[in-house]
Amino acid sequence: MPHRSRRELEVLTLLGKRYTDSEIAKGLVISVETVHSHVQHIGEKLAVRGRREIVQAAKAQGLLE
């Protein structure tokens, strides 16, 4: 994945743990809209769409266990 922010990696890690957007927002003390934005940016960087595809691509690239 091209340059990724610390926050994007935090969101990605929680996506991999199957947290909901509201759980991620609460845990990171950000808005649900900000979570959506991070998820969209992560998907763009991984060239995939959707949470499941993001997690699969991240695992394939060694970004998640």
Tokens encoding 53: 């595809």
In a domain, 1, yes or no: no
In a domain, 28, yes or no: yes
Task: Please give the pLDDT value at position 2.
Answer: 66
Tokens encoding 10: 């935090």
Q: For position 44, which CATH number holds?
A: 1.10.10.10
Closest CA to 7 of 31, 33, 35: 35
Number of domains the chain contains? 1
- Whether this prediction's pTM lies above 0.75 is answered by yes
- The residue range of the domain holding 44 is 6-60
Q: Which pLDDT band holds residue 1 (cuts at 50, 70, 90)?
A: low
pLDDT tens per residue across span 5-37: 999 999 999 999 999 999 999 999 999 999 999
In a domain, 51, yes or no: yes
